[in-house]
Structure 1
Amino acid sequence: MDSASVIIIGAGMSGISAAKTLSDAGVKEILILEATNRIGGRIRNTYFADLSVETGANWIEGVHGEKQNPIWEMAQQLGLRTFRSDYSNLSSNTYKQDGGRYEKAAVEAAIDESEKIHSLGEEYSKTLPPSGRNDISISTFQRLENKIPSTPLEMIVDYYSYDYEFAEPPRVTSLQNTVPLPTFDDFGDNVYFVADERGYEILVYNLASMFLETNSHGVIVDPRLQLGKVATEIQYSGDGATVSTDDRSSYRADFVLVSVSIGVLQSDLIKFNPVLPKWKILALYEFDMAVYTKIFLKFPFKFWPDGDDTEFFLYASKRRGYYPLWQHFEKQYPGANILMVTVTDEESRRIEQQDESTTKKEAMEVLRSMFGKDIPEATDILVPRWWSNKFFRGSFSNWPLGVNRHEFDSIKAPIKRLYFTGEHTSEHYNGYVHGAYLAGIDSANMIVQHIRDGYFEVEIKPKDSY
């Protein structure tokens, strides 16, 4: 049995951010146990058709606002290769299910109507009590305004406005906590697409290298980072905690910080001894773990429009969310001949359960309806499977109805020497990379305070008192 002051389970952005914060505060006896063979968590790049692509987080969201997004600041310091995503010309690039494009004026009218309802939703949201008890879904507000998207054009505009951001439909997404969205209100409306050979994950590796030992090639060799260590049980008490892994190892610490996704916490991968209290379990299951899937297709040559204002295009199917939002990489990687299509939620789960040849066939049928029957067949396809992966169980958390500060305090509240962190513990920025980064700092500082003062307690107020 090895020992450490703090054991951190998970080496994603929040786990590494927490570890660095602890190290900076003088807590050097840390041990990071990571189930996979890499750090970065849901920030992950891979090579597809000789091109580095991001299968997880891909954008830095919230840039050029009054506040500086810490992830954007890191990216600038490292010279990360990024491109501003411009969706302003979608009205010229929206395709019908039965072929051809919609008239620009028709799409603009649908977008204007959606934005009008969104603005009204912002005003209504501000009138709701902070307890969250009167919260409603985005779809419910649309019904109140008698503006329910029903045509293929209305549905694709609605999908772009909400599902594309939250990975779940408006019928299950909170109005109060997403309209307006704190990320864009605080950090700015711009979003930047990461297209760097080093991968978005270089930000996590750079953060780790600030406190973990590396060799001359920049590879982390610090024994305080242990890869391939799957935590299976955590025994905790007021005196410390013990973590058991699937290779029958045990590690003892004064504190344990759990930074796995809320999807994993909702599964049975890690057993807690004693069982987590009911208030903690209830809080964990209040949240949704959404699934956001980017499918990559390689072609022998391009057949889609390129040039200014063509990067993104929409497919308006009668089946909502069916291969809806497409992107080409001609700006980021000229001549790559790669398309990316984003699907979410039920379509993501469905596609994860079928073989890639079936997915490629479906995608090709959609592309042929947009660009004609003579387009070439895709030569390769990549379908990430975040939902099926037991170490992630999805992509990121989404705001459900009726959740407020009470549930967040409950989710991140420690139980004796057992602490929690992750993007799902970020009250204002859950679901985002900057949320994970800031949550790691916050949770680590809670442990530091516990070490300094001998105790730490999160005040969980009754729901109606917020």
Structure 2
Amino acid sequence: MSRSHRDHKIVIIGAGASGIACATKLLEYGFQNVLVLEAEDRLGGRIHTIPFGANVIDMGAQWCHGEQDNIVHELASKHDLLESTGPVYENYQCVRSNREVLPDNVANRLKAIVGDSLVTRQLELRHCSGSLGSYLSNKFYEMLRLPENADIDQVIADEFFDNYKKFENSVEASDTLEEVSGRGYLNYWECEGDILLNWKDKGYVELLRLLMHSRELKSDSDLGVLEQRVLFNRSVKCINWNRNDSRVELQLTNGESCLADHVIVTVSLGVLKEQHLQLFEPKLPVAKQRAIEGLAFGTVNKLFVEFPQAFWPEDWTGFTLLWREEDLSDIRNTSRAWLEDVFGFYRVSYQPNVLAGWIINANGRHMETLPEGEVIAGCMYLFRRFLHWSIPEPVGFRTSAWYTNEHFRGSYSFRSMDTERLGTGAGDLAQPLTVVTMTPQSPSRDKSLHQQSRCDKPIVLFGGEATSEHYYSTVHGAVEAGWREAKRLADFYGLSGAVNVTKSQL
């Protein structure tokens, strides 16, 4: 590569999985003037592994979802970093708010009903013009009416399905399933194989180490190949992308500024939704604005509770909360109303005394604003209301808070009814901003003559999980998006042969 190509300044906004993947791939292509700006004081973005209990916990991304055609799995499996979480999220108990545990034969049949609907979704949703919520409701009650399920109490079935919808909302990051597009749901491609592979006692931070070829990530002191190329606590205030010199000016909130030949934006869709009208000067093209507005971005949060010792049987994996309608009046219209959307607590791998709870939608966002003591008291209320064991006081407690953090504003993206109504998608979000420029072509036999041609130079590029057409909401989608944008620049400079970025190269 010529010296001029090596010196082109490339600035990546965001040191999450997509930004780090993009930066390290650019270095492999031979680009050297690469800088990553990170608004937080740490690496990882929505990958956030912290010490807790006996080992570590992941506040954000937790599992590698699938094996086949999953570049995270291909990379991690070479180092024996992954293992199956097992049936934790299948063998849970269904417990009602009067402490009644659903009999296994009833719980298993209800689980089978919602599980079997997953198989038919791929075929039936292609012709669905409505929401995922309406489809699932029709499917559930249609199967419930079959003769073999006639003995299942309707009230219990309703309680189970209400809980199941909360679980499904946590998968989508939606507030309600009525806002999830039925057809849009099929845009997501599930990788075959185990979809709940955990990182043993290491945490998802190990992926960052692998990408950067660093020895350890106990602190930010070892950035591997990105050493001296990451600046923390650098939040971007304005991206001026229509300058006469075809460069991009970045103005930071701390008063600093810099010029770049190319900027790659990997911030969350939540940040783009909140800031894009002020962040870009001039404003983004209409198609790009429509993509930001039409693609959906929601919040899912976790609550980790550590106890002095396990109070549950060894073969117990966790429980889901089935509220009786008459019991909900005890918390509705009170300060504990948010507890209604905590849908379950489950065992955590390599954490013998820890249970992880999940909470969704507006109540999950409200939970982030509460004092820790109030959240702990709420969790203990649930444990003691639903479980018949004697529950000790916790010795450790942590919750995620993805929405109130201005650098994220939520957890991950999904395809909503608005996405479909506006006729937009990930491809529109991924489309780079370009300027027309002259680029040198391969010289003729007479080396004194050089051909030039007009081309669209990508000056502002977009990565992140929300720009992934089929793997949105996942880390492997984020990594692939980062690699895609690195390859876009390599192709522009005629360097795509320098590195083979196919999955088999990992």
User: What TM-score, normalized by structure 1, do the two folds share?
Assistant: 0.84
Could you tell me which residue of structure 2 aligns to residue 76 of structure 1?
Answer: 77
The question of 1:107 aligning with 2:130 is answered: no
Could you tell me which residue of structure 2 aligns to residue 460 of structure 1?
Answer: none
Unaligned runs of 5+ in 1: 129-133, 454-466
Query: Which of 184, 190, 194 is the equivalent residue of 1:177?
Result: 184
Conserved 8 A contact 1:122-1:180: no
Larger radius of gyration: 2
Change (3 A) 1:280 1:247: same
Could you tell me which residue of structure 1 aligns to residue 499 of structure 2?
Answer: none
Q: CA deviation at 1:342?
A: 1.0
Conserved 8 A contact 2:294-2:418: no
SS in 1 for 2:183: coil
Distance 1:371 1:142 in 2: 29
Could you tell me which residue of structure 1 aligns to residue 232 of structure 2?
Answer: 227
Q: CA deviation at 1:183?
A: 1.9
How many residues were matched structurally? Answer: 427
Compare 370-379 and 288-297 and name the one that shifted more. Answer: 370-379
Distance 2:345 2:11 in 1: 42
Could you tell me which residue of structure 1 aligns to residue 441 of structure 2?
Answer: none
Conserved 8 A contact 1:81-1:196: no
Change (3 A) 1:101 1:143: closer
The question of 1:157 aligning with 2:170 is answered: no
Query: Which of 420, 427, 448 is the equivalent residue of 1:409?
Result: 427
Could you tell me which residue of structure 1 aligns to residue 374 of structure 2?
Answer: 358
Conserved 8 A contact 1:45-1:55: yes
- Residues 369-384 of structure 1: matches in 2 within 5 Å? 369-372=385-388, 374-384=390-400
Amino acid at match of 2:291: A
The question of 1:24 aligning with 2:18 is answered: no
Q: Deviations over 1:224-262 (max 9, x none)?
A: 221221111111127120111122211111111100000
Change (3 A) 1:179 1:85: farther
The question of 1:349 aligning with 2:353 is answered: no
Change (3 A) 1:385 1:4: farther
Distance 2:12 2:409 in 1: 19
- Residues 127-206 of structure 1: matches in 2 within 5 Å? 127=127, 134=129, 136-145=130-139, 147=141, 151-160=158-167, 162-168=168-174, 169-179=176-186, 181-184=188-191, 187-197=192-202, 199-206=203-210
Amino acid at match of 1:414: P
Distance 1:445 1:45 in 2: 29
Distance 2:400 2:40 in 1: 16
Q: CA deviation at 1:179?
A: 4.6
Amino acid at match of 2:199: V
Change (3 A) 1:262 1:181: closer
Unaligned runs of 5+ in 2: 1-6, 143-153, 329-338, 435-458, 496-506
Compare 404-413 and 8-17 and name the one that shifted more. Answer: 404-413
Conserved 8 A contact 1:12-1:43: yes
Q: Deviations over 1:21-71 (max 9, x none)?
A: 2222222221111111221111011123453111110111112xxx34211
Compare 440-449 and 256-265 and name the one that shifted more. Answer: 440-449
Distance 2:127 2:53 in 1: 51
Conserved 8 A contact 1:118-1:179: no
- Residues 50-449 of structure 1: matches in 2 within 5 Å? 51-63=55-67, 67-80=68-81, 82-87=83-88, 89-90=90-91, 93-127=93-127, 134=129, 136-145=130-139, 147=141, 151-160=158-167, 162-168=168-174, 169-179=176-186, 181-184=188-191, 187-197=192-202, 199-209=203-213, 218-220=222-224, 222-237=227-242, 239-268=246-275, 271-307=279-315, 310-318=316-324, 322-329=341-348, 332-334=350-352, 337-372=353-388, 374-401=390-417, 403=419, 406-416=424-434, 417-449=459-491
Distance 1:113 1:219 in 2: 47
Conserved 8 A contact 2:54-2:351: no
Distance 1:88 1:39 in 2: 29
User: What TM-score, normalized by structure 2, do the two folds share?
Assistant: 0.78
Q: Deviations over 1:343-362 (max 9, x none)?
A: 12222112112111111111
Higher helix share: 2
Amino acid at match of 1:61: H
Change (3 A) 1:157 1:23: same
Q: CA deviation at 1:450?
A: 2.8
Distance 2:30 2:230 in 1: 17
Q: CA deviation at 1:75?
A: 1.8
Distance 2:290 2:351 in 1: 46
Q: CA deviation at 1:181?
A: 4.5
Identity of aligned residues (%): 23
Amino acid at match of 1:284: I
Compare 10-19 and 102-111 and name the one that shifted more. Answer: 102-111
Conserved 8 A contact 2:18-2:463: yes
Change (3 A) 1:94 1:293: same
Conserved 8 A contact 2:42-2:232: yes
Distance 1:265 1:242 in 2: 18
Amino acid at match of 2:355: L
Distance 1:283 1:312 in 2: 39
Distance 1:142 1:15 in 2: 36
Amino acid at match of 1:94: C
Q: CA deviation at 1:323?
A: 2.0
Q: CA deviation at 1:170?
A: 1.8
Amino acid at match of 1:437: V
Compare 79-88 and 394-403 and name the one that shifted more. Answer: 79-88
Q: Deviations over 1:268-327 (max 9, x none)?
A: 3862111112221111011222111111112122212223xx223212124696321211
Distance 1:115 1:365 in 2: 30
Conserved 8 A contact 1:110-1:157: no
